[in-house]
Amino acid sequence: MPGLQEWIHKLEEGEGTRYIKIGTLILVLLAVTVIYDVREFRNFSTQEAMDKAQLARNIAQGRGYTTRFIRPLSVHLIQEHRKGEFPSIKAEHPDLANAPVYPLVLAVFMKVMPFNYKITDSANFMKYQPEILIAGFNQALFFAAALMIFCLARKLFDTSVGWVSALVFLASDLFWRFSVSGLPTMLLVVIFLGVVWCLVSLEQGSQLLVPNEAGSPETPAPETKRSVLWFIMVAAAAGALVGVGGLTLYSFAWLILPTVAFLAFYFPQRRPHLPLAALIAFILVMAPWVVRNYQKSGTLFGTAGFSIYQETLNFRDNRLERSLVPDLDKVTTRQIFYKLVENAGDIASNQLPRMGGSWVSAFFLVGLLVQFRSSTLSRLRVFLLVSLVLLTLVQALGRTHLTTASPEVNTDHSRHGGQSHG
């Protein structure tokens, strides 16, 4: 048994110092979290958060993927699809507005944790216990994202850059607000960082390849032991993660385009194996849910697929969702183009400069223009730029009345959430 002096030495100068630092950091984060929650948590303030939470509760209670938030547009889609068979809806109403991953994750969380949905003292009611637990779950994802940012920055740069990146992320007020909003933003950030991690691993793995006798870079260096199968599996993991992100927020699925392009352009020696693996994995993840939506409503993405029509001249605010028989022929191509131009201009001038919640985002935008010596960083920068432009266009076309109701904390804004500190 080690003596007291040895224990003291380990704590002061040995490996124990590392555990003391980690423990201190965890205690500081917990203290900051408690202080923030006591001062700033005000229950869920957005329609989206409450909608996803009630959907998760229905799933946890065994009612399936059904909703108590009935949209006339959803009723219209189901009745049109069932026309001539049984147009009336006599059972629970299937949800056609939300992507499934986040409500399903919350449903599992509700099964595990002691959720209490009853308000016993309505006279002194201040905070709703289920919403506090959901906020705590999202804050755990927030800290997981900070850890991933630290590890990714250390992998790409060094430890000091890792600490700065993680601390800047943790100091962002906007991300703290998202962490207690009940929205899936923190989950999307974690998923996006996972996609980036896969692409970085592929890029760095390809740099360790040594040429064979024919001069082809297909033979891995002995110390790496990276087989062709490893590259295919990591590419498939990237595609699958984009699929999971697309089933968390449908617009996230557009990232499969820059992901496949990254694999096709920067890994020509394995074309088309890697982009094909990513695309197949993406389709396999997305397909079951898309088929479910089509069987229920005759559409691939339910009511969410009609967001391009919202906020046009004839469907301001939530008028489209409240329409039992919407006349979509009134929406012209010119109206959609005007929506794109108007919203894209607002995003470029107002949202992009502060998408991380503070002036620090300006350094991120400038950093995208810096020329790096490392090919990994240069290629990752191109991926981020392409993704940023693509998601800007998607957000501009898919903007709904939810942005007006909550200008900063909404899932429309979440489209850029994963990249502001990526």
Residue 355: its pLDDT value, please? 65
Please give the structure tokens belonging to residue 55: 């959907």
Residue 336 is assigned to a structural domain of this protein: yes
**Residues 32 and 45 reside in one and the same domain:** no
**Residues 9 and 62 reside in one and the same domain:** no
**Residues 96 and 14 reside in one and the same domain:** no
Residue 401 is assigned to a structural domain of this protein: yes
Residue 251 is assigned to a structural domain of this protein: yes
Residue 122 is assigned to a structural domain of this protein: no
**Residues 16 and 93 reside in one and the same domain:** no
Residue 210: its pLDDT value, please? 43
Please give the structure tokens belonging to residue 172: 């962002």
- State how far the Cα of 238 lies from the Cα of 128, in Å rounded to an integer: 37
- State how far the Cα of 65 lies from the Cα of 211, in Å rounded to an integer: 53
Quick one: angle between helices 228-246 and 185-207, nearest 10?
160
**Residues 35 and 51 reside in one and the same domain:** no
The yes-or-no verdict on residue 310 having pLDDT over 80 is: yes
Q: Give the domain extent around 291.
A: 41-117+127-417
> For 225-253, what is each residue's pLDDT tens digit?
578 888 999 999 999 999 999 999 999 99
**Confidence band, pLDDT 50/70/90 cuts, at residue 143:** very high
Which CA distances in Å does 328 have to 267, 336, 400? 43, 12, 16
**Residues 270 and 405 reside in one and the same domain:** yes
Residue 110 is assigned to a structural domain of this protein: yes
Mean per-residue pLDDT for 63-68?
Answer: 90
Distance of CA 304 to the CA centre of its chain: 16
Buried b (16+ CB within 10 A) or exposed e, 217-242: eeebeeeeebeeeebbebbbbbbbbb
**Residues 134 and 10 reside in one and the same domain:** no
Residue 350 is assigned to a structural domain of this protein: yes
**Residues 256 and 288 reside in one and the same domain:** yes
**Residues 408 and 283 reside in one and the same domain:** yes
**pLDDT over 70 percentage in the chain:** 80
SS (H, E, C) the chain: CCCHHHHHHHHHCCCHHHHHHHHHHHHHHHHHHHHHHHHHCCCCCCHHHHHHHHHHHHHHCCCCCEECCCCHHHHHHHHHHCCCCCCCCCCCEECCCCCCHHHHHHHHHHHHCCCCCCCCCHHHCCCCHHHHHHHHHHHHHHHHHHHHHHHHHHHHCCHHHHHHHHHHHHCCHHHHHHHCCCCCHHHHHHHHHHHHHHHHHHHHHHHCEECCCCCCCCEECCCCCCCHHHHHHHHHHHHHHHHHHHCCCHHHHHHHHHHHHHHHHHCHHHCCHHHHHHHHHHHHHHHHHHHHHHHHHCCCCHHHHHCCCCCCCCCCCCCCCCCCCCCHHHCCHHHHHHHHHHHHHHHHHHHHHHCCCCCCHHHHHHHCCCCCCCHHHHHHHHHHHHHHHHHHHHHHHHCCHHHHHCCCCCHHHHHHHCCCCC
Residue 422 is assigned to a structural domain of this protein: no
**Residues 80 and 178 reside in one and the same domain:** yes
Of 44, 134, 45, the closest CA to residue 405 belongs to: 45
- Tell me how crowded residue 190 is: count the other CB atoms within 10 A of its CB: 19
Instruction: Name the range with the highest mean pLDDT among 32-41, 111-120, 143-152, 207-216.
Output: 143-152
Tally the domains of the chain. Answer: 2
Residue 245 is assigned to a structural domain of this protein: yes
Please give the structure tokens belonging to residue 313: 């001249």
What type of residue sits at position 89? Answer: I
**pLDDT over 90 percentage in the chain:** 34
**Confidence band, pLDDT 50/70/90 cuts, at residue 9:** low
**Confidence band, pLDDT 50/70/90 cuts, at residue 218:** very low
Return all residues near 67 (Cβ < 8 A) that are at least 6 apart. 51, 54, 55, 58, 93, 94, 95, 97, 98
The yes-or-no verdict on residue 312 having pLDDT over 70 is: yes
- State how far the Cα of 299 lies from the Cα of 100, in Å rounded to an integer: 16
Of 372, 395, 397, 398, the closest CA to residue 383 belongs to: 372
**Confidence band, pLDDT 50/70/90 cuts, at residue 85:** low
The yes-or-no verdict on residue 141 having pLDDT over 90 is: yes
**Residues 291 and 181 reside in one and the same domain:** yes
Please give the structure tokens belonging to residue 205: 């793995």
C-alpha distance across the termini of the chain, in Å: 47
**Residues 271 and 332 reside in one and the same domain:** yes
